Structure 1
Amino acid sequence: MTRNRVIWSEGLFLRPQHFQQLERSTEMLVEARTAGALAHGWGFSRLVIDPEALKIGRIAIKSAHGVMPDGTPFVIPEEYPAPPPLELPNEVRDAIVYLALPSQRAGMPEYALDDGPQAMLVRYIASDAKIDDAVLGMQDSADTKLGRLNLRFLVEGEPREAFCSMGVVRLVEKRSTGQVVLDDSYIAPSLECRAQPALQEFLVEARNLVRHRADALAARLGQSAQKGVGEVQEFLTLQVTNRFDPWLSHLAERITLHPEALYTVLLQLAGEMASFSPNRKRRARDHAPYRHDDLRGSFEPVMADIRELLTEVINPNAVKIPLQERAKGLYTGTVPDLELLRTAMFVLVVNAQMSSETLRQRLPTQLKIGPPDKIKEMVMLQLPGIAPQPLPMAPPRLPYYAGFTYFELDRRSDFWKQLEATRLMALHIAGDFPGLQIEMWALRP
């Protein structure tokens, strides 16, 4: 069917076909100029299913606004009546119900003057209306025939080749009581996220996950003991979450938000967060391209990715082991994670009112480290215990304090395995170390 424009000339004998062709050429012009402005420019911007109809075995639309895949807009019930309710047979289950409109086809009529059996495949059915004159002072009205969209429901499995269609709901089953059960997880093609509660829930969930992770990171990095840590991963992660928190909050408040725009932002969030996940080898996962006619299949894998990335337990590379002074020169500490004892590097950070070189030489000879129940025996019998080895400089993942000296604990000691039973560690410092300050850190590999 050609859509070339009509050539108007003097003396032209007007026929209905001239105006029909004018409509076709105008529609083509609008479609061609807007096609590149928005990909996937079809779907529902509003959809309300009649809950009362479901109770009696029917599917009916109370209100629906949107655009069909061929670009035909619809506004139900304000401009067009809803399609006739669909009576579902008892044997139908696990099927998508489609909103369908006959397609434009060359050589086939588009309008019917009455709603008879022969009008099944025409796009518009005529209805009578009185149209008022829009000119001020003109009170006349004219009887006019207007075309309403010939919309109907089709169930998955019925022939749809002659129709332009898009999914409305997914049917689970029709119960013996006659009630229709719908699949709440189904997401119909949409122009706006607000038209589908599930899309809005994805957005809110992602924002809340980002906000929770940002709060946790900010609290951790705000602790004085963590300031100056060389490891920058948590700061970079906080930077990402701080960027996405207001962005997602803004999207949640937008009146119009296309699903693909939300999908793009969520993909970016998942990709950036993957940079901080060693389990992923710091690479983003491959996700299938956006599918406008399968929104659940598009969004769910990305959301699962985001949930996993943003709910991972935050394990800082540098873990401080708090030490409590039980008596003069006697300290104890509890290692919070058994895995630290098995894999981490343990470092003592020490300062006293003496030169660093003197501290480096004296401390290893007067410090005993081991299980609390063995520390007295180690001191009395002068057993070596877990030896501290002086480090030439501060490990880059630890806080740097001017004047402090760093020692690595020798994990090869026989006493080290005994620590795993209770995760308790005792330190005994003999001799005089005026102004002694001591911290213990575990560095994950």
Structure 2
Amino acid sequence: MIKGIRKVIWAEGMFLGQQHFQAWDRYYETYQNLQARSISPLSWGLLDFQIDREALGNAQFRVVKCQAMFPDGRLISYDASDDAPLVMNLEGGYAEKLEIYLCLPSNRSASGINGYRNNGQLCAWEADYRRVTDENDPAREREVMLARPNLLLLDGSESRESFTSIRIAEIVAEGDGTYTLVEDYIPPLVRIGASEYLQALVLRMVELFSAKVRVLNERRKQVSAAAADFGHSDVSDFLVLQALSGAIPLLQHIRSNPELHPERLYELLARIIGSLCPFSFEIDVHSVERYRHNELTRVFSGLEKQLRALIDTAMPTRLKALTLNREADSLYSIDNIDSAMLADHTFFLSVYSEMDDPMWVAHFERKVKAGARADIEMIVASALPGARLTHTPRPPSKLPIKSGYEYFRIEPRGDFWERIVSERTLGIFLPHEFMRVKMEIVTLQE
């Protein structure tokens, strides 16, 4: 066997033998493989893959269709409608969980060649004699010997020392003689479209990012009538919006082009994680999942977990849609407040007034009454203080601040607050001088 890369030299008068064409074939296979690997080092794995899921119920793993590039650069194409069955029988003796490998013998030999004796080894190729017509004259036909890949399916416990292989699936025994596919297993891929799970992950990310962008845009509209404006307290929302909005068109591109390599998806998701890492003390840029072509399940499940955690950190569930019901010019109320919200949210009154006298803020803090809805008339009639209101000149940065509004925190302590919690209602009484103010209620999760 010739070692290294040696190009065949053609010259006049040479006596042609099959060795010339074998060496020529070997040189160009090696040349093309090295050229492809220099451009895309991870260009091995599945291009197309389909199994018979019903066969798993009969304790068989049956491949229907497969195109794959093996780690050694050899390309195979299998179709059950034209090729011999590619099946692994799963009856008896197998572990609860099986790793299944698609294997091709590492040698370059072919078996079944007329006039050649079989040396007894398992060959990579089998001779397949076909009648082939001339492309320019269909009437001219000749028998051509083609190479059919001698593919095998082995489980993870069997030796693959003499094979080049790809782990194509994982299955789990159900205990009744049947098996099911591990749906979230992602084999090494050349194309994203070869994995249904990875395509579903892309769709999940599109839906997640789109939903979060809608929430952020809605917050932005609530904060300011000018939809494109951001206040100083909204910078974090803007950064999240910028990261997710920029990713959606690229995710849509990947979804529309399933022939793209999974590394393209990794690069995009890793970049988004990197842009969101400043929001978290637990996940930093050095803890982002590294790309490992033969461990794509771990890579992409880790990325999805990190992305969801970072988005939850950057966008905590802090705003609840509570609406003040105006019962009269001086009386507002809310019924059926969620107990969980009362337990871990701070309540703020957001108030806008056109009064020129800045002292209105102090008067509002002192004169406006808050309490459980059933108690509010008694609080007013008895001149009781009710739940305490505290003006907050510098509201928390995570609170959506509206220009011109003042914020008053309803202090979560005291008997009147306890009544609000037990009744799950809130009543607000406004003296006559404040009947023209605009008032909303917002909450912030602690």
TM range (shorter): 0.7 to 0.9
Q: Once the 2 structures are TM-superposed, how far is the Cα of residue 112 of structure 1 from its aligned partner? A: 5.9
Q: In terms of mean alpha carbon deviation, does 189-198 or 393-402 score higher? A: 393-402
Larger Rg: 1
Taking structure 1 as reference, are residues 301 and 327 closer, same or farther at Cα in structure 2, changes over 3 Å only?
A: same
Q: Once the 2 structures are TM-superposed, how far is the Cα of residue 220 of structure 1 from its aligned partner? A: 4.2
Cα displacement string for residues 306-348 of structure 1 (whole angstroms, at most 9, x for unaligned residues): 4555678965656676434444533334665655676636355
* Mapping for residues 237-386 of structure 1, pairs under 5 Å: 237-273=240-276, 281=282, 283=284, 286-307=287-308, 315=316, 322-333=323-334, 339=341, 344=346, 346-347=348-349, 349-357=351-359, 359-386=360-387
Aligned-partner SS, 1:6: coil
Report the residue type matching 1:216 in the other structure.
V
Q: Once the 2 structures are TM-superposed, how far is the Cα of residue 163 of structure 1 from its aligned partner? A: 0.9
Aligned-partner SS, 1:222: helix
Partner of 1:201: 200
Partner of 2:10: 8
* Mapping for residues 75-86 of structure 1, pairs under 5 Å: 75-77=77-79, 81-82=83-84, 85-86=87-88
Does 1:98 find its partner at 2:101?
A: yes
Q: In terms of mean alpha carbon deviation, does 110-119 or 20-29 score higher? A: 110-119
Aligned-partner SS, 2:239: helix
Partner of 1:152: 152
Report the residue type matching 1:240 in the other structure.
A
Q: Once the 2 structures are TM-superposed, how far is the Cα of residue 164 of structure 1 from its aligned partner? A: 0.8
Aligned-partner SS, 1:148: strand
C-alpha contact (below 8 Å) 2:346/2:412 kept by paired residues = no
Aligned-partner SS, 2:169: strand
Instruction: For 2:176 and 2:363, locate their aligned partners in 1 and report how far apart those are by CA, in whole Å.
Output: 86
Partner of 1:172: 172
C-alpha contact (below 8 Å) 1:112/1:122 kept by paired residues = no
Does 1:234 find its partner at 2:206?
A: no
C-alpha contact (below 8 Å) 2:110/2:127 kept by paired residues = no
Taking structure 1 as reference, are residues 399 and 316 closer, same or farther at Cα in structure 2, changes over 3 Å only?
A: farther
Taking structure 1 as reference, are residues 122 and 80 closer, same or farther at Cα in structure 2, changes over 3 Å only?
A: farther
Taking structure 1 as reference, are residues 346 and 282 closer, same or farther at Cα in structure 2, changes over 3 Å only?
A: farther
Instruction: For 2:37 and 2:195, locate their aligned partners in 1 and report how far apart those are by CA, in whole Å.
Output: 24
Cα displacement string for residues 281-327 of structure 1 (whole angstroms, at most 9, x for unaligned residues): 57468354333333333322333444555678965656676434444
What's the C-alpha RMSD, in Å, of the aligned pairs? 4.1
Percent identity between the two aligned chains: 25
Does 1:61 find its partner at 2:66?
A: no
Q: Once the 2 structures are TM-superposed, how far is the Cα of residue 72 of structure 1 from its aligned partner? A: 0.9
C-alpha contact (below 8 Å) 2:237/2:315 kept by paired residues = no
Taking structure 1 as reference, are residues 48 and 7 closer, same or farther at Cα in structure 2, changes over 3 Å only?
A: same
TM-score, normalised to structure 2, is: 0.78
Instruction: For 1:12 and 1:40, locate their aligned partners in 2 and report how far apart those are by CA, in whole Å.
Output: 40
Instruction: For 1:88 and 1:434, locate their aligned partners in 2 and report how far apart those are by CA, in whole Å.
Output: 78
Q: In terms of mean alpha carbon deviation, does 409-418 or 233-242 score higher? A: 409-418
Partner of 2:73: 71
Instruction: For 1:29 and 1:369, locate their aligned partners in 2 and report how far apart those are by CA, in whole Å.
Output: 81
Q: Once the 2 structures are TM-superposed, how far is the Cα of residue 11 of structure 1 from its aligned partner? A: 3.7
C-alpha contact (below 8 Å) 1:389/1:409 kept by paired residues = yes
Aligned-partner SS, 1:40: coil
Aligned-partner SS, 1:344: strand
Instruction: For 2:354 and 2:86, locate their aligned partners in 1 and report how far apart those are by CA, in whole Å.
Output: 87
Instruction: For 1:338 and 1:54, locate their aligned partners in 2 and report how far apart those are by CA, in whole Å.
Output: 46
C-alpha contact (below 8 Å) 2:167/2:187 kept by paired residues = yes
Q: Once the 2 structures are TM-superposed, how far is the Cα of residue 103 of structure 1 from its aligned partner? A: 1.0
Unpaired stretches in structure 2, ≥5 consecutive residues: none
Q: Once the 2 structures are TM-superposed, how far is the Cα of residue 196 of structure 1 from its aligned partner? A: 2.3
Report the residue type matching 1:5 in the other structure.
K
C-alpha contact (below 8 Å) 1:80/1:149 kept by paired residues = no
C-alpha contact (below 8 Å) 2:273/2:288 kept by paired residues = no
C-alpha contact (below 8 Å) 1:352/1:434 kept by paired residues = no
Partner of 1:218: 217
Q: Once the 2 structures are TM-superposed, how far is the Cα of residue 435 of structure 1 from its aligned partner? A: 3.5
Report the residue type matching 1:159 in the other structure.
S
Q: In terms of mean alpha carbon deviation, does 53-62 or 205-214 score higher? A: 53-62
Instruction: For 2:303 and 2:87, locate their aligned partners in 1 and report how far apart those are by CA, in whole Å.
Output: 36
Aligned-partner SS, 1:203: helix
Taking structure 1 as reference, are residues 444 and 185 closer, same or farther at Cα in structure 2, changes over 3 Å only?
A: closer
Q: In terms of mean alpha carbon deviation, does 74-83 or 142-151 score higher? A: 74-83
Q: Once the 2 structures are TM-superposed, how far is the Cα of residue 46 of structure 1 from its aligned partner? A: 1.9
Instruction: For 2:213 and 2:57, locate their aligned partners in 1 and report how far apart those are by CA, in whole Å.
Output: 45
Q: In terms of mean alpha carbon deviation, does 210-219 or 24-33 score higher? A: 210-219
Report the residue type matching 1:222 in the other structure.
K
Instruction: For 1:239 and 1:339, locate their aligned partners in 2 and report how far apart those are by CA, in whole Å.
Output: 29
Instruction: For 1:382 and 1:56, locate their aligned partners in 2 and report how far apart those are by CA, in whole Å.
Output: 80
C-alpha contact (below 8 Å) 1:356/1:405 kept by paired residues = no
Report the residue type matching 2:172 in the other structure.
V
* Mapping for residues 124-139 of structure 1, pairs under 5 Å: 124-132=125-133
Aligned-partner SS, 1:188: coil
Taking structure 1 as reference, are residues 381 and 148 closer, same or farther at Cα in structure 2, changes over 3 Å only?
A: closer
C-alpha contact (below 8 Å) 2:64/2:80 kept by paired residues = no
Report the residue type matching 2:35 in the other structure.
R
Report the residue type matching 1:128 in the other structure.
Y
Cα displacement string for residues 89-114 of structure 1 (whole angstroms, at most 9, x for unaligned residues): 52224323322211138xxx566626
TM-score, normalised to structure 1, is: 0.78
Taking structure 1 as reference, are residues 226 and 103 closer, same or farther at Cα in structure 2, changes over 3 Å only?
A: same
Unpaired stretches in structure 1, ≥5 consecutive residues: none
C-alpha contact (below 8 Å) 1:346/1:442 kept by paired residues = yes
Aligned-partner SS, 1:161: coil
Q: Once the 2 structures are TM-superposed, how far is the Cα of residue 382 of structure 1 from its aligned partner? A: 3.6
Cα displacement string for residues 395-427 of structure 1 (whole angstroms, at most 9, x for unaligned residues): 76453444x655555556554444332343333
